[in-house]
Amino acid sequence: MIKLAIDLGSSMTKIYRADTNSGVVLAEPSCVAVVGEEERVKAIGKEAKNLIGKTAERTSIIYPVYEGEIVNMRLAAAMLKEFLSRIAIKSAALRRAQVLISVPCGISERALASYAALTEECGLKKVWFVEQPYLAALGAGVILTDTDPVFCLDIGGGVSNAAVISADGIIAGLSMNVGGNNMDANIISKISNNNKLLVGALTAERIKNEIGSLAPGALGTIVAEGSSTETCQPSATSVQAGDLTDCIRVYINKVLEYASEVLRTLPAEVAAIVNRNGVYLSGGIMKIPYVPQYIGSKLGMRYRVCEEPQFAAVLGGGVLLRDTVLLRHFAKVIEA
Ligand SMILES: Nc1ncnc2c1ncn2[C@@H]1O[C@H](COP(=O)(O)OP(=O)(O)OP(=O)(O)O)[C@@H](O)[C@H]1O
Ligand SMILES: [Mg+2]
């Protein structure tokens, strides 16, 4: 039987196939390009993302899963159906497939119901919903027990999750609408103010991913292209990594504020174990140099970064799908 773990991330959708050795079978931007008032679908995934900021007025790019919530059901369904077709599984096999969906920590009943409606619309019949921190922990290779709680912190594109969990459940946790998208937006205003250059969202993300760093004295340089804010003409300027540090750090600090709230509520014994075990870090933002070190030093604890931080949740989904007993234990809703 086909087994799929799906992470409908704000930035990127990831699908992991657990019944074969295929591993991650899809990683595509979670966006759809639509045309006109009727929002006719023009492109999905990589092709749609590539159009960001380059289209004429009639085309817009929509992220149907925004900050962990399904904000446009029709387009979310079109996107997920297309991704499922790209991994070449026939619809009859999909109906029988076991599917695990990662959802934000502490998801509301209403938001969970939208995920259920989405999967039903996509013809998926056996679906489990599991809160992201369990999956991130399992994806990091943690063996969850009742007596050894772990602290997981994931920073993605639109959402961050912080939770202390054990095999018994989430002891304390929350998700917050803070992530890489905020950093990209901050980079746009910084370059506009400092360099008098307006760059697009794609360029800002690329700059963050290529030279972004929290290393003391970060040295990277990149040529950014866009339009001059003074002459409105196409223009280019050199941007230094050191100038962007604050754009990243301010949002890491914000996440850490929330994470500290989570830690403050822990019972003393749990706090002692978390202090000993440290924090497990995941999400695409952990790829920015020195972000993990910075988080570890701010929290004053040991840190471990998942081997593939962006894929931690789907890798953990794979672990669960291979272990039926654990799966039933962690699933939020079971649909037969
Ligand atoms: N090599 C990289 N260096 C720095 N940042 C990166 C890199 N690769 C991806 N990112 C950033 O990581 C973020 C996406 O991370 P991730 O895939 O974990 O998010 P997501 O799961 O799609 O979204 P969310 O969990 O917020 O719903 C984006 O901001 C992206 O720009
Ligand atoms: Mg994510």
Distance of CA 249 to the CA centre of its chain: 18
2, two tokens:
């086909």
Cβ of 288 below 6 Å from ligand 1: yes
Per residue of the chain (336 residues), what is the pLDDT tens digit? 999 999 999 999 999 999 998 999 999 999 999 999 899 999 999 999 999 988 878 899 999 999 889 999 999 999 999 999 999 888 888 999 999 999 999 999 999 999 999 999 999 999 999 999 999 999 999 999 999 999 999 999 999 999 999 998 899 999 999 999 999 999 999 999 999 999 999 999 999 999 999 999 899 999 999 999 999 999 999 999 999 999 999 999 999 999 999 999 999 999 999 999 999 999 999 999 999 999 999 999 999 999 999 999 999 999 999 998 888 888 765 343
Tell me if 187 sits within 8 A of 204, measured CB to CB: yes
Distance of CA 203 to the CA centre of its chain: 19
Give the Cα separation of 72 and 75 in Å (integer): 6
pLDDT in tens, 157-179: 999 999 999 998 899 999 999 99
Q: Compute the distance from residue 179 Cα to the ligand 2 centre, in Å.
A: 10
Among 162, 189, 192, CA closest to 254:
162
Q: Which residues contact 193 (CB under 8 A, 6 or more apart)?
A: none
Look at the domain 144-178+251-306 and name its fold. Nucleotidyltransferase; domain 5 (3.30.420)
Selected from 3.30.70.270, 3.30.420.40, 3.40.640.10, 3.60.40.10, the CATH number assigned to the domain covering 3-135+313-330 reads 3.30.420.40
Give the Cα separation of 73 and 92 in Å (integer): 22
End-to-end CA distance of the chain: 15
Which architecture does CATH list for 180-247?
Answer: Alpha-Beta Complex (3.90)
Q: Compute the distance from residue 284 Cα to the ligand 2 centre, in Å.
A: 8
By alpha-carbon position, which residue is closest to atom 21 of ligand 1?
9
Cβ of 97 below 6 Å from ligand 1: no
In the chain, where does the domain assigned CATH 3.30.420.40 lie? 3-135+313-330, 144-178+251-306
52, two tokens:
């960001």
Q: Which residues contact 131 (CB under 8 A, 6 or more apart)?
A: 102, 103, 104, 105, 106, 107, 163, 170, 173, 330, 332
Cβ of 102 below 6 Å from ligand 1: no
Q: Which residues contact 225 (CB under 8 A, 6 or more apart)?
A: 199, 203, 234, 235, 236
The upper half-sphere exposure of residue 69, i.e. CA atoms within 13 Å in the direction of its Cβ, equals: 10
